[in-house]
Amino acid sequence: MTNSDLTNEIIEFAKKMQGFVVERRRDFHQHPEVKFEEKRTGDIVEELLKQWGYETKRTAGTGVIGTLKCGEKGKTVALRADIDALDVKEENDVPYKSAFEGKMHACGHDAHAAMLLGAAKIISDMKDSFVGTVKLIFQPGEEGGAGAKQVVEEGHIDDVDAIFGIHVWVEVPSGVLATRKGPMMASSDGFQIKISGKGGHAAHPHLTNDPTAPAADIYNAFHKLVSRAVNPFSPAVITLPVIEASHGYNIIPDSVEMKGTLRTFDSDLRDMLVKRMQSLVECYSKGWGCNSSFEFFRAPYPPLINDPQLTDFALDVLKAIGPVMEAEMTMGGEDFAFYTQKIPGVFVQLGIRNEEKGIIYPHHHPKFDVDEDVLWQGVATYVLLAKKYLELN
């Protein structure tokens, strides 16, 4: 059988898996589990992988690693799907609507898990045509939990030569596959500022050390950093959407708490901005007679940078599955970046936007949904990237 024939066979197999993948996706959607609570999801995944001949291990608590050796020689390739949901109340009126109030698969991780399970079945059934080892990573805690960081720290990719991941993407037309060389998604930091002063009556501000005064200065100064301290050709975003202070119009609070996020595509730029932000918080607070702290409340996500050579390879493979386009850079963060910091990797977007079906709502929206008709393409993408990579050299 020629390579072309085998590619077509895999694509046809992926299409035949469509019913299974949709069924699994809807089940996961109806039973969402947020970061590091994905016990039911992990148990289902592990049971199926064992049935199909994979050696399994648990990772990051609720995640699952499935390994299939297709011969003693060859490289090791990893395929990753995140499996966690969000604390979002679903507003879709669908038969598979979330059964858990206030929890929802509002980012498509249910589809990712289902597509990788479909790929797992195909790889198992076609094991004799693979040369090397396939490692499947069903990863928990992507949504702010840095689950990928734990997977890396536990050593699960120490023996992996390359890794591929997929994310359904509502900004891309349904059925279109997209990726790009180099920086694709931004670093993501969540920071918290606390300013402590001396509260009192709003009519007597001179008797207080009003923490809202430095808070206002810090808010303005942070946004000036982007325009005054950053090269205009280097994208950066600082956003401070949370400011909590007094709840009374005539009461000056003892303290102010601010929360925000920093995004860049350059780790050196990120480090410079963090130092400047820390300095601004300290200096403005001292100037108003207040104490302060600046800290991160979750693990920082590095920028996601696709390996250029591996991206060329992936783009060539994807052409057999559907239309291909260059992905736009986005300030959104993704903990897949922890993998690409350590080994070559490529992150692929699978377009799901379908205006006729009303699939237009952004990720993390209560009405987010997935065009299920294209999920077979994600399955085929996983399988073909793994197979073709193992055939290199």
**Binding site residue list for Mn(2+):** 107, 109, 143, 167, 364
For residues 383 and 377, what is the distance between their CA atoms, to the nearest angstrom?
10
Q: Tokens standing for 29?
A: 């959607």
Q: How many CB atoms lie within 10 A of CB 328?
A: 12
Decide: 305 and 264 in contact? Cβ < 8 Å. Answer: no
- Establish whether 257 is a catalytic residue: no
Strand, helix or coil for residue 148:
helix
The residues, any chain, with a CB within 8 Å of residue 11's CB and separated by 6 or more, are: 320, 321, 380, 384
Decide: 343 and 80 in contact? Cβ < 8 Å. Answer: no
For the stretch 34-43, what's the b/e string if a residue is b when 16 or more beta carbons lie within 10 angstroms of its beta carbon? bbbbbeebbe
Point out the catalytic residue in the list 54, 96, 284, 301.
301
Point out the catalytic residue in the list 46, 284, 372, 382.
372
Sole residue written with tokens 């011969």: 71
* Alpha helices per DSSP H over the chain: 3-16, 18-30, 39-51, 109-125, 147-153, 212-228, 267-287, 308-318, 337-342, 375-391
For residues 111 and 179, what is the distance between their CA atoms, to the nearest angstrom?
18
| CA distances to 41, 279, 334, 375 from 322, in Å | 29, 50, 24, 12
Decide: 222 and 238 in contact? Cβ < 8 Å. Answer: yes
- Establish whether 356 is a catalytic residue: no
Indicate the annotated binding residues: 107, 109, 143, 167, 364
Sole residue written with tokens 């065009």: 371
Decide: 368 and 361 in contact? Cβ < 8 Å. Answer: yes
Q: What are phi and psi of 52, to 5 degrees?
A: -95, 10
Among residues 226, 230, 237, 225, the alpha carbon closest in space to that of 281 is found at 225
**β-bridge mates for residue 336, sequence order:** none
Q: How many CB atoms lie within 10 A of CB 8?
A: 13
- Which residues belong to the active site? 301, 372
